[in-house]
Every structure is written in C-alpha cells, then in structure tokens.
Amino acid sequence: MFCSPQIVATRPPAIVSAGGFTPTTFDAASLSNATLSNGNLTATRSNTSTGGAQSIAYKATGKFYFEVTVGASHGSTDSIGIMASSYGYGPLTNGNTGAGSGVWLGNGNIVNNGGVVGNIGAANATGDIIRVAHDAPAGKVWYALNGGTWMNSGTADPATNNGGVTLIAAQYAPVIGFSPFGSPTVGDNFTANFGATAFTYGVPSGFTAGWSA
C-alpha cells in the first residue's frame, strides 16, 4: 500500500555530556498525533490516525541496545524499531520502501525497507518488551520479544554479527509508530528504556547499554 512519506522534523543530534553516557529520549519536535510523558520516554497515541515519536539521536557509529515496553497497543501495525529522519511514520506502519525497520506488533512481522524479513511473534500484549540491538557500522539491527531468541532464531546474535536485518545505508534513530489499521485506540502507549535505568534483559556483548543522546 502506498502512503506519502510523513517527514519527521529534524534537529542536530544532541551531544553526549562531558560526565559520560547520556541516554536519549523521544523528541517533542518529532511527534505526530502523540504526546510525551515520563521524561519524554512514554509516547501515547492522541488520536487514531497515523502517528508516532522518534529520538533525535541518529547514529552512524557505535553499537546500541534499548528496550521498549508495551503499555497498550491496538493498531495492527503499531511499530517499534529504528528509522532515518526522511522515512516517516506512514511508511513505517504501511511497509513502504525506504530507510526504516521495525516490528509490527499485531503479528510480530519484522519489516525492513518495505518487505517482511522475519517474525518474532505477536508482541502487543501489555507488558511485552521488544528488545532492539543496532550495529551502526555494520548497518544491521536485531529484534527479540521478551526473553526469546534474537530474530526468533537459534543462530542470530548481534554479539557475533550473525543474522539480523541489513539496513539501507543511513543514520538511524529509535522510533515508535502508531498504526491507523486494526483497532487503534486513543491512549495506546509505549515506554522506552534508552539506558536511564537497568534493563530487564541482558545487553549483547560489545553493545552500549542504551542509546546515547
């Protein structure tokens, strides 16, 4: 299905503080049909149209891990993943080609550049945690649901650069997409952990525990 890209507002990336690791948050300038709370870590749907929230911390170098917890999700292609600033929430939730990748929570499909490249199982239950590992130099990303295996595979492993999703060359940042399909419900919400608190699951070896600002 074609959907005109909804361009997300961009700003220069935030600077890591001199005191060390500073985790990113969702950026208010990136919002579409959504609101932020909880220190800009919880994105909540404000109407049933396409929308979302994105961090402004795009990465060209480094390896980063983050987790997103489902508060409520009723849109069939509500998405958790990473995308370039030029991609947009419409393509993310429609599956249009371009520099974006994510998990469609209703059925667990892993979508990349407009195609389905795997499945981790339905991930839209309250309390589900979607794990994301992004290796920027390798141009790859891995997904897992709760304590399951990466990519729902016995061999995929970000620590060894095995398996995973090969991305279009671009700088990527974490993203939440609210879908207009299924039964989208005002108040659906997701909370990201970009490293400000302890993670529920183990961080892959060699990856930063979080996504820096």
Is the full-model pTM beyond 0.75? Answer: yes
Summarize pLDDT for 29-63 with one digit per residue, the tens.
999 999 999 999 999 999 999 999 999 999 999 99
Summarize pLDDT for 106-135 with one digit per residue, the tens.
999 999 999 999 999 999 999 999 999 999
Encode 166-185: b = buried (16+ Cβ within 10 Å), e = exposed.
ebeebbbbbbbbbbbbbebe
Helices (H), the chain: 89-94
pLDDT, average across residues 80-109? 97
Q: Which residues contact 173 (CB under 8 A, 6 or more apart)?
A: 24, 54, 55, 56, 57, 58, 59, 82, 83, 84, 85
